[in-house]
């Protein structure tokens, strides 16, 4: 019973993260935060799944490494966007400007 409750709660958190990511299109930083929240929910999904079947936890470390690299890449894009455009609004950023 407790396992179903934790799976349901994690699924609810994952859906909330997706809704925040889709609805919040104004600032790049808030979108990056919602992506990190989604990655954290996926990490907990993976951790519970691997503990349920008594697998090794090596893949969780690999997953955390890739999520940290994704976060660093997102922050570097944010810094370069602020340096070139002056803010992190998506309305001021045009893909056609190269």
Domain boundaries in the chain? Answer: 2-85
- Architecture of domain 2-85 in this structure: Orthogonal Bundle (1.10)
Determine contact, residues 52/3, Cβ cutoff 8 Å: yes
Q: What is the pTM of this model?
A: 0.84
The residues that bridge with 27 in the sheet, in sequence order, are: 89
Q: How far is CA 54 from CA 19, 40, 46, 57, in A?
A: 32, 21, 12, 9
What is the predicted pLDDT for the residue at 86? 81
For the chain, strand residue ranges (E) read: none
What is the predicted pLDDT for the residue at 35? 92
Per-10-residue mean pLDDT, the chain, length 98 = 79 94 83 93 92 89 94 91 80 59
What is the predicted pLDDT for the residue at 84? 83
The conformation of residue 1, written as its DSSP 8-state character, comes to: -
Measured torsion, CA atoms of residues 17, 33, 80, 26, in degrees rounded to the nearest 10 = 60
């Amino acid at each position: 019973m407790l396992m179903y409750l934790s799976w349901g709660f994690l699924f609810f958190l994952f859906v909330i993260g997706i809704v925040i990511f889709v609805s919040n299109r104004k600032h790049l930083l808030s979108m990056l935060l919602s992506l990190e929240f989604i990655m954290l929910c996926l990490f907990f999904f993976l951790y519970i799944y691997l503990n349920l079947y008594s697998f090794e936890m090596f893949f969780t470390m690999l997953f955390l490494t890739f999520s940290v690299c994704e976060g660093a890449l997102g922050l570097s894009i944010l810094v370069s966007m602020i340096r070139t455009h002056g803010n992190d609004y998506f309305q001021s950023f045009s893909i056609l400007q190269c």
